[in-house]
Amino acid sequence: MKNWLIHIVVNAVAIIAVGALFDSVMIDGVGGALLAALILSILNAIVRPILVVLTLPITILSLGLFLFIINAITLWLTDAFLGSTFEIDGFGMTIIAAIIISLINLVLNSLIKDMKK
């Protein structure tokens, strides 16, 4: 449970960072970022594995790069669920946001892992 909460906070930080970087990403405050992070985490736990299995041949052919598209789809679904609380203009911006969120998550999760040692 504790790791899941840490993951949600890390996602929220990444979402806030992307919102600060791009005018095309609108977030309704810290609460909106936390809600978006919660929805994104739930979608990553439920929808993402299904999409990964269904698109496995494409993912293999693209050497894993298609996973960024899958991340963008889950981010786009988060946008669709939250309406004006969390909005991203266009699917191209959603792909860029998903890549940056993934990179921020990678860095923050590795820092947290190092702190736990």
**35 in any annotated domain:** yes
- pTM metric for this prediction: 0.89
Residue 42 counted as domain residue: yes
Residues 29-79: tens digit of each pLDDT: 999 999 999 999 999 999 999 999 999 999 999 999 999 999 999 999 999
14 burial level (CB within 10 Å; 0-12, 13-18, 19+): buried
The verdict on residue 37 lying in a domain is: yes
Query: Is 67 part of a structural domain of the chain?
Result: yes
Closest residue by Cα to residue 28 from 85, 78, 81: 85
Domain range enclosing 27: 2-108
**Residue 115, domain member (yes or no):** no
Number of domains in the chain: 1
User: Model confidence over 1-24: pLDDT tens digits?
Assistant: 678 899 999 999 999 999 999 999
Angle made by CA atoms 88, 91, 94, in degrees to the nearest 5: 50
Is 87 among the domain residues? Answer: yes
